[in-house]
Chains A and B, each alone.
Chain A
Amino acid sequence: AQSVAQPEDQVNVAEGNPLTVKCTYSVSGNPYLFWYVQYPNRGLQFLLKYITGDNLVKGSYGFEAEFNKSQTSFHLKKPSALVSDSALYFCAVRDGALAAGNKLTFGGGTRVLVKP
């Protein structure tokens, strides 16, 4: 069974400071990892994904994430946070095996609050 843990319910950061949102996962096969963001009154929006290749993946809005196989982590990062980054962030995983389908398992979400 797949699982995702986001250990922090909320992350507070000052504008201009680095932002990190933590995610660890468990999957039986090769992991396909994703980050989605939900702004108020909006649907989830895709930020980035790791499928294979370089462990550091870059995504939308200046975000990046680092895949660490030994620690089974996929932390989301942004070097300099903006107030507009305040939102709810979800990490998700699916098994890379074709038989597993395209069913995503999400974490509980982390609310990010960036203060001016």
Chain B
Amino acid sequence: EAGVTQFPSHSVIEKGQTVTLRCDPISGHDNLYWYRRVMGKEIKFLLHFVKESKQDESGMPNNRFLAERTGGTYSTLKVQPAELEDSGVYFCASSHRRWDEKLFFGSGTQLSVL
């Protein structure tokens, strides 16, 4: 079974530019989550999709971040315009059922904003 895949693995951009991160969940997993780890600190929740619907976006830091999941398959997370404090590792995770007690994580996208 293919795992959760994330693209790109690394991205280096300048402040003010736009970056789009992509996540392909495990096939059949309706639930998709975005998390991020900034400055080597805690991994923090960003948002949760159930199929194409945003179930919980309480962790999105501000309106420079836009997440989509058209068709309920892969998801994108766009940062526009990027700021220095957006640097960190962005993780995607998926699960089949909403209350699944185990999440499957991708290897993350390391974002560096210079």
Contact = CB atoms under 8 A, between A and B. Distances in A.
B56 interface: yes
Contacts of B58: 103
Interface stretch (B14-22, B66-74, B77-85, B95-103): B95-103
B3 A102 contact: no
Contacts, number: 64
B107 A105 contact: no
Contact of B105 (A43, A98, A109): A43
Nearest to A43: B105
A34 B103 CA distance: 10
A13 B39 CA distance: 26
A45 B56 contact: no
Nearest to B45: A103
B100 to A, nearest CB: 7
A102 B99 contact: yes
A100 B6 CA distance: 27
B106 interface: yes
Contacts of A34: 101
Contacts of B75: none
Interface string A21-52: 00000000000101010000111111001010
Interface residues of B, number: 31
Size range of the interface on A?
20 to 34
B102 to A, nearest CB: 5
A90 interface: yes
Given A43-B107, A44-B91, A102-B31, A51 B101 contact: yes
B111 interface: no
A46 B103 contact: yes
Given A43-B3, A44-B91, A98-B99, A105 B45 contact: yes
B38 to A, nearest CB: 11
A44 B104 CA distance: 8
A102 B102 contact: no
A102 B99 CA distance: 6
Contacts of B33: 102-103
Interface in B9-47: 31, 33, 35, 37, 40-45
